[in-house]
A and B are shown apart, each in its own frame.
Chain A
Amino acid sequence: MTNRVLITGMGMISSIGKNVEETYGSLIKEKSGTGKATILNTIHKDTFPLSEIKFTDDQLLTLADLQNNRIYTRTTCLGLIAAREAVNHAGLKSLSRLRTGMISGTTVGGMGKTEDNYKNYLLPENTTINSQYVDTHDCGDSTQTIADLLGYNDFVTTISTACSSSANAIMLGARLIKNNILDRVIVGGVDSLTKFTINGFNTLMILDKDLCKSFDADRKGLNLGEAAGFIVIESEKAAKEGNRTILGEVKGYANSNDAYHQTASSPEGNGAFLAMNKALNVAGLTPTDIDYVNVHGTGTPNNDLSEGTAMTRLFAGDYFPRFSSTKAYTGHTLGAAGGIEAVISLLTIKYQTIFPNLNYTTPMPEVNAHPVTTLITNAGVKNVLSNSFGFGGNNTSLIFSAY
């Protein structure tokens, strides 16, 4: 008999709000956070809209309550803000005999500071360098730092699988609870905007110079963003013991590999189909049980075709669930996407509201369904399917259900 995986807390910071309440406010007002970057100094800031969090690194240190001497990266600050919100929301106490861990997904890690300091490190005349930025470069730094600061480090690890990173973190956390290895886990992810990623995505020519139009026939690409999103998941026993308010359940999850190309997804959407199908199996649900899909929907010609095709294959009969991409609001936050979209999926369940797929006008010929384009309230949503598909063919689907 395996444990149910219940969600008891959530936290999020992104371009549409510094906490869950502000996020919800922006979502229902259809207010996107994508626009001109004013903090990150990149030559591309006038060319590509970015979904930047309008706090400088110093301001984030204050917001995260980290104004001491140790160097904390932007990634760590964002992650701490969201993780702390989730933990407080759940009412977790760190002095507890319950086995509590943290799993975070990130791709950028401390690259923000590295890219500013890297040349200095290498200059021969700089015979000594300050270790603090060097030590915070790796992906594991933000996770360990946050876990230690919050006091939940019975098991801590970091996953980096490109855009599916935080969805995978949630999946691993769920499995650890189901198999009675942990009682509670803080799961999700964080990524901050860096010149490295902006330039990297630019070389792939998949950035839109305008606001992204997910699932639109005329879509041109994605808008990059930054964010952190975490949820607290607990075993049923731990949740009951702590007398928690249950936000929902992690009912299904699956990870598959497209094995088609390093960055592009197969046109038939094989990996995506496998992930969604398996997640349904794990949840014990059928396609018609899905009330809403929060699609990966980056707005690139390739992803939306692949994902759209996979969904068409999965929902093969007369039923096609309502779906939308929320990346027009938050941007594509890379490693954090799965985490923040988990929070958004839970908001959908909590408020029974489906948030629209902004900027959509023209249907894709290959997909025989349109995304939701206006706010739907009283939506009758019990089961949400959330997709996160990353480079290296890494595809993850999660199913969140009302409790």
Chain B
Amino acid sequence: MKAYIQSAASLTAQATLESLGMPEEFVNLSGVKLKGLDPDYKKFISPVAARRMGRIIKMGVASAMVCMERANDKNPDAIIVGTAMGCVEDTEDFLLKMIDNNESLLTPTSFIQSTHNTVGGQIALLIGCNNYNFTYVHRGFSFESALLDAMLLLQEGEAEKVLVGGLDEVSQNHFDIYNKLGNWKTCSSSLQSIAEKGQGVLAGEGSTFLMISKSKDDKTLAQIQGMEMVYQPNTVKIREAVEKLLVENDLSTDDIDLIIPGLNGHSEEEKVYNEIFTIFPQKAIAGFKHYCGEFPTASAVGLYFAAYVIKNQKIADIAWLGKDKSQSFKHILLCNNYGKDYFSILLISQC
């Protein structure tokens, strides 16, 4: 299945929301987690609406609004969101109050906000959209599921354009709990977190939305030529997935100009990319997780990155990971892992 990317917007720890693609200036952040850079939410959401919204909902709404503005289109035929953990802060808020108050004197707002489809529902409410509205909550395939559904709608002729998003937040409690489980990396900076291979990952969060469509115009950023979702990846499965993408698009390994892997500095998890590097030796490699950190829907940031590389035909120096660089980008292979079980491969091309 294929789709054109008309526009994209991404809120991450870097100034991505204001830029078209990755920002020229990269700030090498120190600290144990990469917190999303909050914009002035009042620009996107009225105080009356925003007062109830938990942070992730504001993040989602803001990035969705920017995406729609860039597409010059506030009337998508569907809104589909992927989020593995949902509205964490609101969930925690209600849960802790419930425990502390022994199930009494509880207020509804954080409960209402905690339901996983709140972001999709809020966007629909704000733009008055009565159309198809789904939320996927399946771990490292939450965003991929949303994207698959969106491309299916286009293929079925049920939609001309779909607003698709991937977002997750890391609250302080969430961070602390997973810290005790040894999930996180102790490192001095975002660049170090990718460069120094070891145990753990750098905790991140972000919200990315893309407007994908059936047809292209001169604003189109790029084309998604295919996507493979590989569960419990191994050498054979990865090879087959890559081959399928190439064969279906009448391409050979030579035609791929750039690999964008979701390298996250976790020495065990990164082993999954070895097969990709074996199939594509000496290819140019550029990464994105030093921008946003690791979270289940980080692949959406990768797609945002890839789309703009295709459109702008350039990559900031900081993103290059391999020795080889290329100058022109016709076909990009984006591949991303979440943990050891979830691996997705997307082919993104110029159109």
Contact = CB atoms under 8 A, between A and B. Distances in A.
Partners in one complex: yes
Contacts of B130: 256-259, 270-271, 274
Interface stretch (B99-107, B240-248, B259-267): B99-107
Contacts of A271: 130
B124 interface: yes
B25 interface: no
B137 A160 contact: yes
Interface in A354-380: none
- The contact size tier of chain A is 35 or more
Nearest to B119: A392
A114 interface: yes
B129 interface: yes
Contacts of B152: 175-176, 179, 181
Nearest to B172: A122
B275 interface: no
Contact of B86 (A122, A139, A203, A394): A139
Interface stretch (B26-34, B39-47, B141-149, B216-224): B141-149
B120 A156 contact: no
A123 B239 CA distance: 46
Interface stretch (B175-183, B277-285, B298-306): B175-183
Contact of A157 (B94, B96, B121, B136): B136
Interface centre among A42, A179, A203, A270 (most CB of B within 10 A): A203
A256 B86 contact: no
A391 interface: yes
Nearest to A155: B229
A122 B177 contact: yes
Chain B interface size, under 10 / 10 to 19 / 20 to 34 / 35 or more = 35 or more
- Which residue, of B86, B131, B135, B229, has the highest number of chain A Cβ atoms within 10 A? B135
A257 B124 contact: yes
Nearest to B96: A118
B349 interface: no
A172 B149 contact: yes
Given A140-B138, A203-B106, A203-B108, A394 B95 contact: no
A204 B11 CA distance: 32
Nearest to B132: A255
Residue of A118, A119, A139, A179 most packed against chain B (CB within 10 A)? A139
Contacts of A96: none
B125 A261 contact: yes
Contacts of B94: 196, 199-200
B195 interface: no
Contact of B121 (A172, A196, A256, A393): A393
A390 interface: yes
A362 B141 CA distance: 48
A121 B50 CA distance: 30
A259 B95 contact: no
A161 B117 contact: yes
Interface in A148-207: 153, 155-162, 168, 172, 175-176, 179, 181, 195-196, 199-200, 202-204
A138 B156 contact: no
A129 B177 CA distance: 8
Nearest to B183: A131
B122 interface: yes
Contact of A115 (B95, B141, B173, B181): B95
B316 interface: no
B86 A391 contact: no
Contacts of B124: 257, 259, 392-393
A393 B134 CA distance: 11
B98 A196 contact: yes
A85 to B, nearest CB: 23
Q: Is the interface of A mostly helix, strand, loop or mixed?
A: mixed
A263 interface: yes
Nearest to B118: A392
Contacts of A118: 95-96, 99
B313 interface: no
Contact of B135 (A122, A129, A160): A160
B85 interface: yes
A126 interface: yes
B111 interface: yes
A132 B213 CA distance: 41
Interface string B135-165: 1111101100100010010011000000000
A158 B136 contact: yes
Given A134-B177, A159-B137, A256-B130, A115 B149 contact: no
B185 interface: no
Contact of A158 (B104, B115, B138): B138
A262 interface: yes
Contact of A162 (B115, B125, B156): B115
Contacts of B149: 172
Given A118-B99, A138-B85, A140-B138, A161 B176 contact: no
Contacts of B98: 115, 195-196, 199
Contacts of A126: 180
A109 B156 CA distance: 31
A38 B112 CA distance: 27
A179 B155 contact: yes
A122 B115 CA distance: 22
A43 interface: yes
Contacts of B117: 160-162, 390-392, 394
Contacts of A143: 138
Contact of A161 (B84, B135, B141, B341): B135
A257 B116 CA distance: 15
B133 interface: yes
B84 A140 contact: yes
Nearest to B141: A157
Given A179-B156, A257-B129, A391 B231 contact: no
A176 B145 CA distance: 12
A394 B115 CA distance: 12
A262 B61 CA distance: 14
Contact of B180 (A129, A159, A181, A261): A129
Contacts of A68: none
A107 interface: yes
A144 interface: yes
Contacts of A156: 138, 141, 231
Contact of A391 (B104, B115, B145, B180): B115
7 contacts: A126-B180, A139-B86, A139-B116, A160-B115, A195-B103, A196-B95, A263-B112
Given A138-B85, A255-B132, A262-B125, 15 more contacts: A118-B99, A128-B180, A134-B181, A138-B137, A140-B137, A156-B138, A168-B134, A196-B94, A196-B95, A200-B108, A200-B114, A203-B111, A257-B121, A259-B127, A392-B118
Complex A-B, nearest 3 residue pairs according to Cβ-Cβ distance, in ascending order: A392-B121, A200-B111, A160-B116
